[in-house]
Structure 1
Amino acid sequence: MISLNRIIIRGVVLILLGCSTKAPPKAAQAFEVSALRSGLLEFRTNGDAYISQTGNQFPYVESGRCVVAGNENNCLWHGFEFLYRSPVQSTLIECKFESNRTQDRASPARYGEANVTGGTFSFVLQGRSGRYVRPQYTTGLKGHPFKTTTWCSREGVEIFRFTLTLIP
């Protein structure tokens, strides 16, 4: 004769074996940022940019030349760099920044917004892994310290944040 305990145990085992669970996504499938560095930026002789000094506060010392809206100026080069791994070939990164004082936004080709304390920019990472460097510059800083915080997101999820303060 089969005992009642044995039937219950077999029933529980069958129920457990019959349950299916979805495996968690593999870590390699997630978007990853590593080795984030922000600070002062320099250029190698071949033109490649790199962070030469990491940190979040620096004296404003013009360290090179830059083109602002078609005009060459003295400026301080700074920026950020990181390594990434992505589950897709093309990854959109959206960034926002806020600063403690107004600034004019410009690119080498043209002036953008004037007298802003914040804004947005974006870029696309190509490939499933690599290194990204974002050169930025400041020119003509006088008076009070300039402090700006930048944070970047992928698909609405913040992936990194940093603050830079320049002291005239």
Structure 2
Amino acid sequence: MKKYVALLSLLILTGVAVCAQQSINIKAIVAPVGANITMDSYLWNIALANDGTISYQNDQQGVMTVKSGSTWLFHIDFSSEHLGYVKQGAYQIPYYVQVTEIPSSYSGFILPSSIMDGYVQLTSTQSIWFLGRTPKAGIRFYVGIKIDATSGQFFESGTYTDTLTINFVAL
């Protein structure tokens, strides 16, 4: 009888431990109907001069279209996987991003933000806040990129990468 009780206790304890490991956190983000962000290109190939004197700057590196769908209060968040650096192994090069509105018939408000005031390094998430629905075709923005040259400094040759993430957040 003692063996049966001990075996039963062991099975119960094992079963409790297994049950305690069965929780799964699920987060589903559902955008409002018709809301989205599209880019004209999802790959930016940049050729750097790497001479220590010539910087790279393209104020129209990409075109982003934002559609609010059914929501009227939302923001767009910009973040960088490597916190504003393109990387190759241990080597890294800082870069900066700017967003500029292309004139349109948008009658809502876009609140001031540092990423629209000038080039910023994405060391933290940068947001652009919107009050008002966009036209059905959306509103368009230029997304620019800048890489400064440092006098007398050269980069290790190779391919440097980063992932720029742009999220639509409805409130």
Shorter-chain TM-score category? 0.3 to 0.5
- More relative contact order in 1 or in 2 (CA 8 Å, sep 6+)? 2
Q: TM-score, normalised by structure 2?
A: 0.41
Q: TM-score, normalised by structure 1?
A: 0.42
Between Structure 1 and Structure 2, the one with more strand by share is 1
